[in-house]
Amino acid sequence: MKEQKLKKQRGFSLMELLIVMVILGLIASLVGPKLFGKLGMAQQKTAKTQIEMLMAAMDAFRLDVGRYPTQQEGLAALVADPGLEKWDGAYLKKAVPNDPWGNPYHFRSPGEHGEVDIYSYGRDNQPGGEKDNTDIGSWE
């Protein structure tokens, strides 16, 4: 009687577990790259949206003060009063965000592409690049 119970309660063999692990590995190798590709695209879209938000705050700053922040004042002028009489901020509800890759946004005033430039160098944080490393700027 005990022998019949033991045979009915038997677990998975090592071979069965190895086969399942190989199948799961194959599935992950097929699905993983597609998911990571979508992540890179989502991060780039997030950076574009954040830059647009920062530019809207810049425009509000300009309406109040009469000019964009200087290079020395930087993006911090959107959050904290740099000592200007007409400053009526904060123009952002929270601190200036980092880009989706954790790096601070770059700011140039006067800009090369407009009166001011706000940009991210992408995942590699280096000028130039392709795909996830593509630079994203306010002039695009």
Give the pLDDT of residue 3.
56
**Dist CA 1 CA 92 (whole Å):** 75
Between CA 96 and CA 112 the distance in angstroms is 22
| pLDDT on residue 132 | 75
β-sheet bridge partners, residue 106:
119
Phi and psi torsions of 102, nearest 5°: 90, 5
Closest by Cα among 51, 57, 63, 53 to 106: 51
The pLDDT value recorded for residue 57 is 94
What pLDDT, on a 0 to 100 scale, did the predictor assign at position 79? 93
Ordered structural domains, the chain, with CATH: 43-137 (3.30.700.10)
Q: What is the C-alpha to C-alpha distance for residues 91 and 99, in angstroms, rounded to an integer?
A: 18
* pLDDT value of position 9: 61
Q: What is the pLDDT of residue 65?
A: 93
pTM of the model: 0.70
Q: What is the pLDDT of residue 78?
A: 94
- Per-residue pLDDT at 4: 58
pLDDT score recorded for residue 10: 67
Please choose, from the candidates 134, 87, 139, 89, the residue with its C-alpha nearest in 3D space to the C-alpha of residue 116: 139
Phi, psi of 17 (to 5 degrees): -65, -40
- Spans of the chain, pLDDT less than 70: 1-10, 32-39
